[in-house]
Amino acid sequence: MRWFPSLTVLCGASLGWLPGLRAEADWPQWRGPTRDGRTSHGAAAPGRLPEETKEARIVWHVNVGSGLASPVVAGGKVFHLDGIEGKETLHALDPSTGRELWRATVDDSFQDEQGPSGPRCTPLVDGEFIYAQSCRGELQCRAVREGRLVWRANFRKDFGAVLLGEDSKVPGAAEHGYTASPLVVGEQLIACAGGTNGAGIVSFDKRAGTVLWRSQSDLASYAAPILARNRWSASPWRASSGFRPTRAGCSGEFP
């Protein structure tokens, strides 16, 4: 099967806020500002989607490469991660015109029989930084403004994680690649690295990339970590685990 994806922005009576993207309308990470599929409290949102063609018009659309990562909107830019020419590539676009502002290569593309080649992890924007994670376990922090590489880590080289591929029948990211978008909690960036030597989950200083702590020895699963009630939760392959935001110790597991 050949894939011909594109990224399209519509404008209509109920979607008139899209072209003039304001900070309150940001959708900076997987499933929105708080990872629950909802806009920020008090932010403008459409009451309905246009039902007829005459109610909506295409403001712009651009062709994109293959992959399963969602686009995000933050800081007056649209970001998307796709697979082009055998590389997982991060793009920044002007939200009014779709013009590409910059692009940066993240990693070689990953391919299996579950879908098209390319990334499966939605980028994350936090202030002046954007974080992109490849299927192969490359994590990069780049400057939102111009795409400059700030720091990087590689789960396989730095933490002993493995990517065995589809034929291995090993569950989780080791089989089908990394899909769980990292989570920012305060000054930390928390990622499910999947290292079985005590680095199943790793916390980085979000600005410098230094490792603050590492915990657990589980393979990475597909689910992204979330924050709830002053604790964050991650789901490595073996069980769901709850943690206090500033500690490596696990406060509870739920098989």
CB atoms within 10 A of CB 28: 21
Rounded to the nearest integer, the mean pLDDT of the chain is: 81
Longest dimension (CA), the chain: 58
Give the pLDDT confidence score for residue 39 in this predicted structure: 82
Give the pLDDT confidence score for residue 59 in this predicted structure: 86
Q: Is the pLDDT of residue 29 over 90?
A: yes
Q: Is the pLDDT of residue 192 over 50?
A: yes
**pLDDT-derived band of residue 233, with 50, 70 and 90 as boundaries?**
low
Give the pLDDT confidence score for residue 171 in this predicted structure: 64
**56, two tokens:** 């909506």
Give the span between the Cα atoms of 137 and 128, in whole angstroms: 23
The fold of 6-254 is Methanol Dehydrogenase; Chain A (2.140.10)
Q: Is the pLDDT of residue 51 over 90?
A: no
Q: Are 144 and 130 in contact (CB under 8 A)?
A: yes
pLDDT-wise least confident of 19-23, 210-214, 239-243:
19-23
Q: Are 98 and 53 in contact (CB under 8 A)?
A: no
* Count, residues in the chain: 255
Q: Are 196 and 219 in contact (CB under 8 A)?
A: yes
Q: Is the pLDDT of residue 215 over 60?
A: yes
Q: What is the average per-residue pLDDT within 142-171?
A: 88
Q: What is the average per-residue pLDDT within 85-98?
A: 95
Q: Which is it for strands 250-254 and 240-243: parallel, antiparallel or unpaired?
A: antiparallel
Q: Locate the domains of the chain by residue range.
A: 6-254
Q: What is the average per-residue pLDDT within 70-77?
A: 94
130 or 36: which leads in pLDDT: 130
Give the pLDDT confidence score for residue 230 in this predicted structure: 57
Give the pLDDT confidence score for residue 234 in this predicted structure: 53
Model confidence pLDDT, tens digit, residues 132-152: 999 999 999 999 999 999 999
Q: Is the pLDDT of residue 12 over 50?
A: no
